[in-house]
Amino acid sequence: MAGCRGSLCCCCRWCCCCGERETRTPEELTILGETQEEEDEILPRKDYEKGRRYEAVKWMVVFAIGVCTGLVGLFVDFFVRLFTQLKFAVVQTSVEECSQKGCLALSLLELLGFNLTFVFLASLLVLIEPVAAGSGIPEVKCYLNGVKVPGIVRLRTLLCKILGVLFSVAGGLFVGKEGPMIHSGSVVGAGLPQFQSISLRKIQFNFPYFRSDRDKRDFVSAGAAAGVAAAFGAPIGGTLFSLEEGSSFWNQGLTWKVLFCSMSATFTLNFFRSGIQFGSWGSFQLPGLLNFGEFKCSDSDKKCHLWTAMDLGFFIVMGVIGGLLGATFNCLNKRLAKYRMRNVHPKPKLVRVLESLLVSLVTTVVVFVASMVLGECRQISSSSQIGNDSFQLQVTSEDVNSSIKTFFCPNDTYNDMATLFFNPQESAILQLFHQDGTFSPVTLALFFVLYFLLACWTYGISVPSGLFVPSLLCGAAFGRLVANVLKSYIGLGHIYSGTFALIGAAAFLGGVVRMTISLTVILIESTNEITYGLPIMVTLMVAKWTGDFFNKGIYDIHVGLRGVPLLEWETEVEMDKLRASDIMEPNLTYVYPHTRIQSLVSILRTTVHHAFPVVTENRGNEKEFMKGNQLISNNIKFKKSSILTRAGEQRKRSQSMKSYPSSELRNMCDEHITSEEPAEKEDLLQQMLERRYTPYPNLYPDQSPSEDWTMEERFRPLTFHGLILRSQLVTLLVRGVCYSESQSSASQPRLSYAEMAEDYPRYPDIHDLDLTLLNPRMIVDVTPYMNPSPFTISPNTHVSQVFNLFRTMGLRHLPVVNAVGEIVGIITRHNLTYEFLQARLRQHYQTI
């Protein structure tokens, strides 16, 4: 061994090397098992203090996200209550006066004035930021699944979302403010750790942490969970929502942080709401924006039970009906969404505003006319209770103004239809859950039909809107109707109407959104009654199974309409008939370890790929190519250094196993790589195609596509060395990281990680850059910045394994590398979508 290192012509135990002595770097000597005589030993040491500081900062940021999300919910709730009380106070006074004077048309005009003004403002805000429309849950779900939706987590989107949902709810539309809270929390989670904003460019701090997509997705997961927790007072349900509906990958540390963030949001909102509404700061009486109250039977009714084992049969039937109703709701809404995409969205933006105003106009007229014509006047009973001792029906002016409406009815009576329509949706839900014997079956049936149709029409217009509360209210009316029928016509006197209203709400909401685990926990936490766990879970499961038989959930439907490549939790069993080679993209766009600037600019401007393989080509006459061309020489030397690394690994393995090294090491010592020539009679094209070599029209930066290329040039094998991102290449070009052909690659400037991530999360666009000052003949060495060890798979890997690796590890690119280290294709999210896999499976069956 010593002779092999010190002489010019030597023979060692395994090989003979003759020629000039080649200088080895310390890294190469270490790989080959050799050491320098005078080498300073550097012991590896991890900076534990920096790691602890990073973890502590992450916990503080998570806490700040929860507090800010709670404050956002407080802001929305305060102004929604303010505007709603103002509107209903004016309208109620007008209706009571005009009922006697016969000027109800004037009352309707006043109500229209309020509602149309609020909805118009909400629509204008959506015109400023179109992503703010809807609940935002489909967009957040896509983001957490790994798809970047433009503008979804910007500060401008948050402002338009908050103000827009405030006006849309106050405008009397059948929408909720709880759904947009999830989107708002996600924006807070994405923006707060960055300490900068594109909308407010002057607000920027030098904060060195969390400059990666993985950290950002973790904070968005925490923000989404905090939004659920603030909306329903359900921190555990928020954590499970983020896990079930959002994130592609998860870890134990993230679970604790998300739960802590949800708790922070819940108690922040609870603290301020309790202090503002009750004046008792620190009492924590209002955990969320939507609270279902306390479910308990009246003390005077000894036969009453919240639910019994016999009621489970009714709950299962209600789950089936809720699944059918939810599937119908989703089908109608999908048709409306397609109609809007074809006939409304292509037209000027003013048409969207007019559609929102039309929906508001129809909703207001229907609510007013239904309350006036279809409502029943029922007797006010001072003994009627809500089941909560602090919320009783008493004949006082304050309670009448706040809970029941006497519109169009004589003294000592109230209008049951107006009591549902002319109250905030949360108050209507409480009335259906807790008031006993106050709504007729006809009123409940008409209310359900009208609310079902109008809520279906409303979801999808150009205003911020949630779907949770409308679905809960619609389902509560359905459940209350079932309870009334069972009590009045079947004679089941033990039934507690509030339980059936809750189960009806769960059945309809589960049939629409198709959530199971998180929705069960959210409803249990909202009711604060653990005994409801079993019936809620059974109802939601039955509703989901029934609805899935017909179509997908409402959020998945809207994701599909947008054409977003969303990945499911797992693939179907029959997909394992496909291999990675069947679904990969074989036409590669790649870069070399050393590439000219003109070639990089051309690749970046003519493609939209976010990552590029770094490869070298396998040639039999590499020495001839190296002569007189520094660029090609550097690329081939880099490939040889990679082979040298593998040779060192083989040598260590041979020493440990007392076996002979591979021929690769022997060839390396001889300073040439042998290649087996194909048999003369074999078809070269067929041989290359069998090995799945792929053509690339720009073999070397100095070459352009030529029709004179041989088959070997068109299908040349490519040795894979790593992946480099588009953002990294753009950063290298912007900062002028390159070297001239007359210089060594060591003269190229080096950028630190902080400098590379300085422009995160919005890197410059290659089309907006002025690169005239750069010499196009300069060379860029990308090897210090590429990922040399990305996840790779074999061409023979089953699709299920590919899918699980891609989804659980949160990948965006998965190179397909054969047994000898040559890249033969690449798999992206598009190659794993359900539609793409189905198309490839059909092709597979056709070729059998």
pLDDT digits (tens, 9 = 90+) for 351-407: 999 999 999 999 999 998 888 888 777 776 654 443 333 333 333 334 333 567 777
Q: Closest Cα partner for 244 from 482, 556, 549?
A: 556
Asked if residue 580 has pLDDT above 80, the reply is: yes
Token pair for residue 706?
């030529």
Helices (H) and strands (E) in the chain, counts: 32, 10
315 and 423 share one domain: yes
Report the C-alpha gap between 806 and 147 in whole angstroms: 13
Query: Given this model, what pLDDT does residue 605 score?
Result: 85
Q: 598, exposed or middle or buried, with CB in 10 Å at 0-12, 13-18, 19+?
A: middle
8 A C-beta contact, residue 448 and residue 280: no
Domain interval for residue 482: 309-378+400-562
SS3 of 774, please? coil
434 and 504 share one domain: yes
**391 lies in some domain:** no
**151 lies in some domain:** yes
Output the CA angle 11-15-18, nearest 5 degrees.
55
Q: 812, exposed or middle or buried, with CB in 10 Å at 0-12, 13-18, 19+?
A: middle
SS3 of 703, please? coil
CA diameter of the chain: 117
Q: Which residues are within 8 A (CB) of 685 and not within 5 positions of it... i.e. 6 or more apart?
A: 711, 715
**pLDDT tens digits for 534-553?**
999 999 999 999 999 998 89
- Looking at the chain, the whole-number percentage of residues with pLDDT higher than 70 is 75
Instruction: Give the relative orientation of helices 178-191 and 213-232 as an angle to the nearest 10 degrees.
Output: 150
The HSE-up count of residue 710 (CA atoms within 13 Å, CB side) is: 5
431 and 351 share one domain: yes
The phi, psi pair for 378, rounded to 5°, reads: -115, 150
Strand partners, 378: 414
H/E segment holding residue 820: none
Residue that is last in its domain, among 221, 255, 275 = 275
Query: Given this model, what pLDDT does residue 704 score?
Result: 36
337 pLDDT tier (thresholds 50, 70, 90): very high
Q: 599, exposed or middle or buried, with CB in 10 Å at 0-12, 13-18, 19+?
A: buried
> Which residue has better confidence, 728 or 286?
728
8 A C-beta contact, residue 376 and residue 484: no
Q: 825, exposed or middle or buried, with CB in 10 Å at 0-12, 13-18, 19+?
A: buried
Q: Closest Cα partner for 165 from 466, 533, 607?
A: 466
220 and 174 share one domain: yes
Q: How many domains is the chain built from?
A: 3
Asked if residue 484 has pLDDT above 80, the reply is: yes
Q: 376, exposed or middle or buried, with CB in 10 Å at 0-12, 13-18, 19+?
A: middle
Whether the bond into 761 is cis, omega within 30 of 0: yes
Contacts for 81-88: CB closer than 8 Å, 24+ residues apart: 81/424, 83/118, 83/166, 83/167, 83/170, 84/169, 84/170, 84/424, 87/111, 87/114, 87/115, 87/170, 87/172, 88/422, 88/423
254 and 318 share one domain: no
> Which residue has better confidence, 691 or 57?
57
**pLDDT tens digits for 301-321?**
666 677 778 888 899 999 999
Residue that is last in its domain, among 275, 294, 329 = 275
171 and 221 share one domain: yes
Report the C-alpha gap between 654 and 33 in whole angstroms: 12
Torsion sign (Cα): 460, 461, 464, 470: negative
Q: CA separation (Å) from 281 to 73, 278, 291?
A: 18, 8, 19
Residue that is last in its domain, among 249, 275, 301 = 275
End-to-end CA distance of the chain: give it in Å, rounded.
57
Per-residue HEC secondary structure of 340-359 comes to HHHHCCCCCHHHHHHHHHHH
Query: Given this model, what pLDDT does residue 830 score?
Result: 86
107 and 204 share one domain: yes
Q: What CATH number is given to the structural domain containing 554?
A: 1.10.3080.10
**29 lies in some domain:** no
193 and 336 share one domain: no
The phi, psi pair for 471, rounded to 5°, reads: -65, -40
Report the C-alpha gap between 664 and 527 in whole angstroms: 70
Q: CA separation (Å) from 324 to 220, 285, 333, 559?
A: 33, 37, 14, 21
DSSP state string for 183-235: HHHHHHHHHGGGTB-SSSTT-B----S--SHHHHHHHHHHHHHHHHHHHHS-H
270 and 173 share one domain: yes
200-204, 591-595, 722-726, 746-750, range with the lowest pLDDT: 200-204
Query: Given this model, what pLDDT does residue 430 score?
Result: 86
8 A C-beta contact, residue 295 and residue 502: yes
Token pair for residue 273?
């709401």
**pLDDT tens digits for 64-97?**
999 999 999 999 988 998 998 888 888 878 877 7
8 A C-beta contact, residue 607 and residue 729: no
8 A C-beta contact, residue 525 and residue 234: yes
8 A C-beta contact, residue 484 and residue 517: no
**673 lies in some domain:** no
The pLDDT of 159-167, averaged and rounded, is 92
| Mean pLDDT of the chain, nearest integer | 77
202-216, 490-504, 525-539, range with the lowest pLDDT: 202-216
**803 lies in some domain:** yes
497 and 536 share one domain: yes
**707 lies in some domain:** no
SS3 of 596, please? strand
Alpha helices in 596-705 (DSSP H): 597-606, 622-626, 630-657, 663-669, 684-690
Core vs surface per residue 178-205: b (16+ CB within 10 A) or e: bbbbbbbbbbbbbbbbbebeeeeeeeee
548 and 577 share one domain: no
8 A C-beta contact, residue 680 and residue 62: no
Query: Given this model, what pLDDT does residue 530 score?
Result: 86
8 A C-beta contact, residue 212 and residue 757: yes
Amino acid at 395: V
Report the C-alpha gap between 784 and 724 in whole angstroms: 10
**pLDDT tens digits for 245-284?**
766 566 777 888 899 999 999 989 888 888 887 777 767 7
SS3 of 615, please? strand
211 and 345 share one domain: no
The pLDDT of 628-647, averaged and rounded, is 61
**pLDDT tens digits for 761-784?**
677 777 777 777 778 888 888 888
Q: What CATH number is given to the structural domain containing 736?
A: 3.10.580.10
Query: Given this model, what pLDDT does residue 20 score?
Result: 42
> Which residue has better confidence, 680 or 818?
818
8 A C-beta contact, residue 781 and residue 739: yes
Residue with tokens 């949800």: 262
Contacts for 76-79: CB closer than 8 Å, 24+ residues apart: 76/162, 76/165, 76/166, 76/177, 76/181, 76/184, 76/289, 77/177, 77/269, 77/273, 77/289, 78/276, 79/166, 79/170
**91 lies in some domain:** yes
**825 lies in some domain:** yes
